[in-house]
Structure 1
Amino acid sequence: MSTIAEQFSSAAKANFEANLALFTDFTAKAFEGVEKLVELNVTAAKATFEDSTASTQLLFAAKDPQEFFSLSLAQAQPSAEKAIAYSRHFAKIAAVTQAELAKTSEAQLAETKRKALELFEQVSKSAPPGSENAIAFVNAAIGNANAGYEQFTKSSKQAAEAIESNVNNAVEQLSEVAKSTTRSAKK
């Protein structure tokens, strides 16, 4: 049977390795999200440049002010729709990335929790007589920490869901405003 010091040393090493794995996974997921956002922004910038060039050429070809304003108005709705599509895509990337980060964190923290409880059980079995009160105190502290973590996780999920819902509502409202503005301008 190994000593308590060896058990703690082994647990510390396992904890370090688990934290390193969590950091690596977390960083990889974050970079994936950033890559997707950069790709979205580059694509949007290219499309905006191409649309602007085409629109400018079309506007310069207008024969009179009325045609110029008609062409300008015709460009408003597609531009608003593209902005809304961009917002939705951005929100989706952010939501998926947040969910992946939460999933990665939860899995790693659950494994760390399991290992900590396992170590505590091993140590408590080899604890000297008379240490029952200390073991009960540590066990209660672990239980309280787990309850606090679970509440924090639940609150974090609720906050993320609220943010996602608010972003979706804002995009929908922007879409409705753009549609009503376009309808009003056509009249």
Structure 2
Amino acid sequence: MFTNPEQFASATKTLFELQMMTFNALTSKAVQGVEQVVSLNMTTAKNSVQGSMAMGKEMSQAKDPKAAMDVAAAHAKPMAGAVVYGEQLKVIIDDIHNEFTQAADAHIAEAKSTLTALIYDVTQNVKPGSENAVEIIKTAIDNAFQGYEQVTKATRQAVQVVEDQIAKATAQVAPAEKNAA
């Protein structure tokens, strides 16, 4: 099998480091995405409060009730803000999705390369009578990599679900805005 235990330890360490790099990259992207969403939410809330304050000021300066109602009607376009918010949120989610995909693909390619080299090394240094042990190691390596791919696939599916939900919410807001106009 391996010519010495250090080779196996080195290969195992490399695979572990690849998994940690992938985890760190994906976690970093997720944290950046959350920061962007929080920033968007804060900006949206701030703009909403400022708009409400401006409307209140305009209404208080109205000369008669009809003028006050006209001001209120002019500012009653919350759906427009929701559509803009949805579009900005979609851009953030799309960016996160693209970065997740790129990071995952890069790390998977690197892991496949490392695993291929590891399996090659295992099969090249087989002592007669050790074929069963080699198959066990190859199976363990393949299973570990399949688990790695499953985690990446699940992450991609989770990002896709979020994107779909945002698309549905945006699609529901857009017709409501047209009807309000």
Contact 2:22 2:107 in 1 (8 A): yes
- Count of residue pairs the alignment pairs up: 180
Cα 1:155–1:37 shift into 2, 3 Å: closer
Please name the residue that 1:3 is paired with: 3
Could you tell me which residue of structure 2 aligns to residue 92 of structure 1? 91
1:38 is matched with 38
Distance 1:27-1:90 versus aligned 2 partners, 3 A rule: same
Output the CA distance in 2 between the equivalents of 1:23 and 1:139: 24
In the other structure, the counterpart of 2:62 is 62
TM-score of the two chains, using structure 2 as the length reference: 0.79
What's the offset of the Cα at 1:140?
Answer: 5.7
* Unaligned ranges ≥5, structure 2: none
Shift of 1:84: 1.3
Q: TM-score, normalised by structure 1?
A: 0.77
Query: Relative to structure 2, which stretch is displaced further, 85-94 or 99-108?
Result: 99-108
Write out the 4+ residue segments of structure 1 that deviate beyond 6 Å after TM superposition.
none
Q: Hey, what does 2:75 align to over in structure 1?
A: 75
User: 2:108–2:149: 8 Å Cα contact kept in structure 1?
Assistant: no
- Counterparts in 2 of 1:36 and 1:156: CA distance versus 1, 3 Å: closer
Question: Contact 1:29–1:101 (CA<8 Å) still a contact in 2?
Answer: yes
Aligned-residue offset at 1:85 = 0.3
Distance of 2:149 and 2:25 partners within structure 1: 21
Q: What is the RMSD computed on CA atoms of the aligned residues? A: 2.9
* Secondary structure at 1:83 match in 2: helix
Q: CA deviation at 1:156?
A: 5.6
Q: Percent identity?
A: 34
Q: Which residue of 2 aligns with 1:119?
A: 118
Q: CA deviation at 1:150?
A: 5.7
Deviations 1:10-29 (A, max 9, x none): 11222233233223322332
